[in-house]
């Protein structure tokens, strides 16, 4: 690839038709969200890097743990794609006998994707006895005086 970044192989979503999984989760047709948009490094590579940073030893996961890992990655792609969806989808649909206003609140959908992704990561953490990557943690400390 001249003058650009060469595409990396996927590290988590390695099976066939992974793009369709993302479209299905978003409820979007390929005409509005083509494979080329999903395969951009800003989407799939960033999504996988985000999930990998939260899940140590992701390569060793199998069975249900692998399922939750892949689901979290699909949802991370949805989170990254959500802001652009308002520009991709038509706002009105007019047919011979009807007229429809098509309104999806993509900010709300993004929040739902984040919640679902966090749920998958938490289930993964429970399966592998890992600390939860998404639940906030805090420490109780005592006041220190710098005298």
Q: Looking at the domain assignment, is residue 114 inside a domain?
A: yes
**Residue numbers of the domain that contains 90:** 18-127
The three state secondary structure string of 9-55 is: CCCCCCCCCHHHHHHHHHCCCCCCCCHHHHCCHHHHHHHHHHHHHHC
d(CA 45, CA 2): 19
Q: Looking at the domain assignment, is residue 1 inside a domain?
A: no
pTM for the model:
0.80
d(CA 127, CA 58): 13
Decide which of 97 and 125 is more confident. Answer: 125
d(CA 7, CA 45): 9
Per the structure, the count of domains in the chain is: 1
Q: Looking at the domain assignment, is residue 84 inside a domain?
A: yes
Q: Looking at the domain assignment, is residue 142 inside a domain?
A: no
Query: pLDDT confidence of 1, banded at 50, 70, 90?
Result: very low
**pLDDT tens digits for range 70-114:** 999 999 999 999 999 988 887 666 677 766 666 788 999 999 999
For residue 44, pLDDT beyond 60? yes
């Amino acid at each position: 690839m001249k003058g650009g970044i060469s595409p990396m192989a996927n590290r988590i979503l390695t099976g066939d038709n992974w793009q369709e999984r993302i479209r299905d989760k978003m409820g979007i047709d390929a005409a509005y969200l083509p494979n080329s948009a999903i395969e951009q490094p800003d989407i799939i590579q960033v999504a996988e890097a985000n999930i990998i940073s939260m899940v140590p030893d992701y390569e060793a996961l199998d069975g249900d743990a692998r399922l939750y890992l892949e689901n979290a990655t699909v949802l991370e792609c949805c989170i990254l794609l959500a802001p652009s969806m308002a520009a991709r989808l038509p706002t009105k649909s007019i047919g011979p006998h009807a007229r429809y206003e098509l309104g999806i609140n993509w900010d709300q959908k993004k929040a739902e994707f984040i919640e679902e992704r966090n749920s998958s990561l938490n289930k993964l953490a429970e399966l592998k006895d890992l600390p939860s990557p998404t639940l906030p943690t805090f420490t109780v400390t005592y006041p220190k005086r710098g005298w």
